[in-house]
Amino acid sequence: MSLLNINTKFIPLSITKDMMPQPEANPVMAVSFEQSLAKALEPVNDLQIQSADLDSKLAAGQLEYVHQAMVMGEKAGLALDLTIQIRNKVIEAYQEIMRTQL
């Protein structure tokens, strides 16, 4: 019969700073929430800027086709509406979580 050899280690009750994962070691942790949010909102902002640029060209008479400005304006408007709806759903979910009883 063989005996089971169990190695016991000291398990600390508190976590020290050197035990925490370092952000530079893990690229996923290095991205902050602010950076992630800015990256997600960047395409919506780009559409808004392109729409404003085409609108100013249309007003100056430099745009050959009016439908280009109209289509870009609709794209920018839809992107902004979708962003607002997503924000509303996130806020609603947060408020629902905060209302839960522990």
Model pTM?
A: 0.64
- How many domains is the chain partitioned into structurally? 1
Does residue 6 fall inside a structural domain?
Answer: no
User: Is the CA virtual torsion 70, 73, 79, 82 positive or negative?
Assistant: negative
Domain annotation covers residue 16: no
C-alpha 76/C-alpha 45 separation (Å) is 8
Q: How far apart are CA 60 and CA 48, in angstroms?
A: 18
Residue 65: which domain range? 37-99
Residue 19 counted as domain residue:
no
Asked whether residue 11 is domain-assigned, the answer is no
Distance CA(51)–CA(78), nearest Å, equals: 12
For the record, the structure tokens of 3 come out as 């005996």
Give residue for tokens 């370092």.
22
Q: What is the pLDDT of residues 3-60, one digit of tens each?
A: 444 444 444 445 555 655 565 656 656 678 888 889 999 999 999 999 999 999 999 9
Rounded mean pLDDT, 67-71: 94
Assess if residue 93 is contained within a domain.
yes
Q: Name residues whose C-beta falls within 8 Å of residue 51's C-beta, 6 or more positions apart in sequence.
A: 69, 72, 73, 75, 76
